[in-house]
Chain A
Amino acid sequence: MNDMTSLRLESVVKKFPQREGSGEFTAVDNVSLDIRKGEFITLLGPSGCGKTTTLRLIAGFESPTSGRINLGGRDITMQPPNKRDMTMVFQSYALFPHMSVFDNVAYGLHLKRLSRSDIDKKVRATLDLMGLGALATRRPNQLSGGQQQRVALARALVMEPQVLLFDEPLSNLDAKLRVQMRGEIHRLQRRLNITSVYVTHDQDEAMALSDRIVVMNAGKIEQMGKPEDIYRYPATRFVADFIGRANFLDTKIQAIDDNCAVVSAFGQTFRVPLQQTPFSVGEHATLMMRPEAIRLAHDPSAKQVRIESAMYLGTEVEYMVMVDDQLWSVADTDPRTGRAFDEGATAGMTILESSLHLLKASH
């Protein structure tokens, strides 16, 4: 373990007894993670993939069936949750309804037996930081959803924990507020430099906030990496599909040359730079391309496709086009063109070679 590691999960497994019958259900399946000091990590995945369970294992609300958890070099696997130097921000905010905003934020400091004046100073500072100074005497039910969210955050931040844990904290807010709070969490975390583990099923949130994203599926880690890498070079078809939209084409590797695979599609030859995953010549593979990496034009020499639907969304025009027998998604993000093609029209399609990516054949 190096000095920079703050939190470490070693082959953590969590099994729950099956609700019916006597079997067991593996919610978290052999998860290992190294989280650096000050890093913002997001656990991303579809509902039920084990994100919350992983977070609760870190917090200590669940104990792992096997595996170990380390914090700052100490084994905390058996340490009770109230002794762990972490605080959690809950999806439901979980504010104490019988206490004022001030008392909510002061709660943890009281338990630490800080002096009254210290508590007062810290709570005031945190409330001001969160723009809650004027609301200190209110009760939670007298606050808007966004304000409640801030109080929940303030209550966790004031503890100055080694690790902050978030369980889908923004999922109860409306879209506009969500984007705004997202910015605020980003700003605060960078400023205070607190190691954070953040659970969400919203890929935009994950991309916007994270230093690294951990994509989970069925209790396992599917891929781990920087947001750009995950988006551009997904390791599996699941990740490619879950993060953004993607189009796939079965292909065969014709040659490998200078760490680039040579493949052909629609009678054209492409050179695709290889990432970690090794490929061999002659292997079947899946070519992935993002909707914004495809261009449509009135070009009779290009591959001809039929426009099935065209939706104007402002920032882009979203087309569904029929490519041979597959429905592909194409995004025209050029601000100079409007809806250039109507439904039922035919267009010439070109693919930007530099944005192609190869995946292992899925079957």
Chain B
Amino acid sequence: MFTLQRTLKDFRRTFGDPVLALGLLVAVLFVFFTILLPIFSMISAGVSGDGLTSLQRFITDPVYLNIIRNTIVMGLTVALGGTLLGFLFAYVQVKVKAPFKRFIHIVALIPIISPPFALASAIIILFGRSGLITKGIFDTRCLWGEGRGCNDIYGLDGLTLVLSLSLFTVAYMNLKGMLEALDPALDEAATNLGGSKWHIFRTVTVPMLVPGLAGSFLLLFVEAIADLGNPLVLGGNYEVLATRIYISIVGLFDTNAAAALSVVLLVPSLTVFMVQRYWINRASVVSVTGKPTGKPQQIEHPVVRWVLWGIVMAFCLLIVTIYGTIFVGAFTEVLGVNNAFTLSHFDFVINGYGAEAMTDTTLLSAIATPIAGLMGIFIAFLVVRKPFPGRGALDFATMLGIALPGTILGIGYLIVFNNPIELTIPIGETPLVIPIIPKLTGGRALLGGALAIILVYIVRSVPAALRSGVSLLSQIDPAIEEASTSLGANNAQTFRRITLPLIRPAFLSGLMYAFARSMTTISAIVFLTTPQTRIMTAQILNEVENGRFGNAFAYCVILIIIVLISIAILTFLVGGSSAATRGLQGGR
């Protein structure tokens, strides 16, 4: 009891500052209404009433069991493929002496900006049943096998390829960072002890990277099972949970069944999130030492070197070809059938429906981005600097925004915000109804559903800003902020004049990531678009479903250009060179 009182006293003291208290309140309300409430509503719809009936049916019906198995298998193959690919790229980048490294690096980063369906569509054009490469060069409909054993691009193999290519960048960045941070003195020590390169690789490099490898694997697994766009286009008969959820809502209008399926999808996602948070992150801190103390040793064995490099270059070539296809396809009548140059696709996008989608998407993303950035940095500030009870919970809940599949969030929004949220107080004959949140989704939603979409964009983007903010803030000596306080600054002044300038780079990268993410997201918003609010990714889906790849490619090209221009503008506005690179340790 005594400690509780003291905790309360400390809390009052920390948040005695009205600005800070208000900020905390806003953050907590935001997290509650935009993340926790939709997720809980989705879960409760999935495990009660009609949802429960569906759920019981799913886990006994062989068709659904097959879908669940498909989802898990695809998650595993993509996680394996993407992590391997990321590791290969990172290893060649850091440890192998070979040419064109800069090129390899840039190509590895390209998939960050991949509009959904873009890669899948391009792959179909290239390797599909009448693909430019399969049909055009090898005169076959299959990737391998002929006749009855014919295996075309649709299904697990195509999905694994496309998803690995779209997602491996995260693994690459993670593992590259770890490989670079591995103390070269370790390598040297091992060499001095007479170990061969292969032996060192097995006994030193790989064990040190295990947390990084496991982390990437889990991350890719979650991203893969959450992905909606690729299975929709490339799945063929290979059905996964995300696509079945989509069909339940869009085709069958059965929200409860969708919620029940989402609960099934939620289980592995949430498990992986917990494992990452409480196990991987702990382990990885130990394995990376601070500053490299020597020059990393590089592989010089000719066979190993050129084989690894060759594989990586082949994948680079594939990525370049895919993006080239997107670009060329946007300017071609029907790629592979009628290769005439045309601007009609762009005409369709810019002067047709697309114009509205372009402005809506850009506008909504542009509104969401700075809010998400500020919110992320502010929560990071609270979590790192203000030791209040419940900060772990706040961080956890905020991270759920990205840890859980977008479909789950979208359905949660459908359920919660399809009716206005009101507080009914039964007094007198007509009870007093206090509106809290108006109807945000579906027909006659507030602002044509735009608000719900903005909220989803924010929710999906805040975690990235939060994580980069946390890592930067933990590098800033707390004494710097205390010095500001000691000189008379209140919390808000310290935050604005000291903290914010010092974490500007994190803020910037958080913003850019948030924007790119918003512009290219599909799974979270596909259920929330209305005829009044058109979103480019949803339009692309529409074109792809109708086989109009040219229009889809034109959309993708425009989307990529908007993202690139916005990044350039942001870099210019927020300022490129950063205060943080000048040392955060109070001048030392």
Pair A93/B487 contact, Cβ less than 8 Å: no
A336 interface residue per 8 A CB criterion: no
Residue of B nearest to A140 (CB): B587
In the bound complex, how far is the Cα of B588 from the Cα of A108, in angstroms? Answer: 21
B566 interface residue per 8 A CB criterion: no
With both chains docked as a complex, state the minimum distance between the C-beta of A346 and any C-beta of chain B, in angstroms: 52
CB-CB under 8 A from B583, the residues of chain A are 97, 140-141
Indicate with 1 or 0, residue by residue over B477-512, a CB within 8 angstroms of chain A CB atoms.
101101111111110010001100110000000000
Q: 26 A-B contacts, Cβ less than 8 Å apart?
A: A59-B482, A61-B485, A63-B9, A80-B16, A80-B17, A82-B485, A82-B487, A82-B488, A82-B489, A88-B482, A88-B486, A90-B483, A90-B586, A94-B587, A95-B480, A96-B587, A97-B480, A97-B583, A97-B585, A98-B582, A107-B489, A107-B497, A141-B582, A141-B583, A155-B487, A156-B486
Pair A98/B486 contact, Cβ less than 8 Å: no
Q: Which of chain B's residues 174-208 have a Cβ closer than 8 Å to chain A?
A: none
Chain B residues with a Cβ closer than 8 Å to the other chain, count: 32
In the bound complex, how far is the Cα of B483 from the Cα of A80, in angstroms? Answer: 14
Q: Which of chain B's residues 1-39 have a Cβ closer than 8 Å to chain A?
A: 3, 6, 9-10, 13, 16-17
Indicate with 1 or 0, residue by residue over A97-133, a CB within 8 angstroms of chain B CB atoms.
1100000000110011000000000000000000000
Residue of A nearest to B9 (CB): A63
Q: With A78-B13, A92-B477 in contact, do A141 and B488 touch (Cβ < 8 Å)?
A: no
B579 interface residue per 8 A CB criterion: yes
Indicate with 1 or 0, residue by residue over A56-92, a CB within 8 angstroms of chain B CB atoms.
0001010101000000000000101111001110111
Residue of A nearest to B504 (CB): A98
B367 interface residue per 8 A CB criterion: no
CB-CB under 8 A from A90, the residues of chain B are 479, 482-483, 586
Q: With A63-B13, A97-B584 in contact, do A92 and B479 touch (Cβ < 8 Å)?
A: yes
In the bound complex, how far is the Cα of B88 from the Cα of A157, in angstroms? Answer: 57
CB-CB under 8 A from A143, the residues of chain B are 587
Pair B488/A111 contact, Cβ less than 8 Å: yes
Pair A98/B487 contact, Cβ less than 8 Å: no
Residues of A within 8 A of B (CB): 17, 59, 61, 63, 65, 78, 80-83, 86-88, 90-98, 107-108, 111-112, 139-141, 143, 145, 148, 151, 155-156, 159, 165, 172
Q: With A90-B479, A92-B479 in contact, do A81 and B586 touch (Cβ < 8 Å)?
A: no
Pair A98/B501 contact, Cβ less than 8 Å: yes
In the bound complex, how far is the Cα of B489 from the Cα of A91, in angstroms? Answer: 20
In the bound complex, how far is the Cα of B490 from the Cα of A61, in angstroms? Answer: 13
Pair B587/A86 contact, Cβ less than 8 Å: no
With both chains docked as a complex, state the minimum distance between the C-beta of A264 and any C-beta of chain B, in angstroms: 54
CB-CB under 8 A from A65, the residues of chain B are 6
A87's partner among B6, B10, B487, B587 (CB-CB below 8 A) is B487
CB-CB under 8 A from B479, the residues of chain A are 90-92, 94
With both chains docked as a complex, state the minimum distance between the C-beta of B222 and any C-beta of chain A, in angstroms: 32
Pair A94/B482 contact, Cβ less than 8 Å: yes
A141's partner among B477, B483, B498, B587 (CB-CB below 8 A) is B587
In the bound complex, how far is the Cα of B498 from the Cα of A108, in angstroms? Answer: 12
CB-CB under 8 A from A83, the residues of chain B are 488
In the bound complex, how far is the Cα of B577 from the Cα of A139, in angstroms? Answer: 15
With both chains docked as a complex, state the minimum distance between the C-beta of A194 and any C-beta of chain B, in angstroms: 14
Residue of A nearest to B493 (CB): A111
Residue of A nearest to B584 (CB): A97
Pair B582/A108 contact, Cβ less than 8 Å: no
